[in-house]
Amino acid sequence: MKGKGNDGSGNNENRDDWETPDIVFLPLNKEYNFTFDCCASPNNKKCEKFSSDFLNENNLKDEICWINPPFSKAKEMFKHFFKVCKKGVAIYRCDNMETKVWQEIILPNASWIFIPKGRVSYYYNPTLRNGNGTRFPSALIGLNVEPINIFEGFFLKPLNKEMKKIQNI
């Protein structure tokens, strides 16, 4: 299926430093006890251990990872997340689930996908820690951890066993 639509130009570097707000992160951290923030800077890190150069991290087998990837590098970051992390949770925009990052990387590799009710207001200025809202919904994506039960919303995955992948639409 092809047609006009989002060309991914919204995934630009100007939006890469938006920080996940505490109202989302703190309950998740209480549930999972994250030990490593995969894509962070000293200004927006969520864990004591973090990486500003995640694509060069390779020894995360003992970590419980949190990732809010920079939009401009999401595909590479998710590919690496599923390759080097053994356990973790991610947050990512879910308005474009027809994109390659969703179709080729997230959907086949995630243990579960959860769409929380409402929209997340990210901190767009880590120093001021204020959010301006977003124009898109977010998804929480689990990797080898128990599904969350702390937010209202809906699971997209795991799917019922009867559901099958549809090809060549």
pLDDT tens-place string over residues 133-142: 566 789 999 9
At residue 96, the pLDDT reads 87
- The arithmetic mean of pLDDT across residues 147-151, rounded, is 92
Contact criterion met (CB below 8 Å) for 122 and 20: yes
Whole-angstrom distance, CA of residue 9 vs CA of residue 72: 9
Where exactly are the structural domains of the chain? 14-157
pTM of the entire predicted model:
0.83
State which CATH number among 3.30.450, 3.40.50, 3.30.70, 3.30.420 fits the domain covering 14-157: 3.40.50
Q: How many CB atoms lie within 10 A of CB 26?
A: 12
Between 121 and 84, the more confident residue is 84
- Contact predicate 80/36, CB 8 Å: no
pLDDT, mean over the chain: 83
The more confident residue out of 139 and 18 is 139
pLDDT in tens, 113-125: 999 998 887 766 5
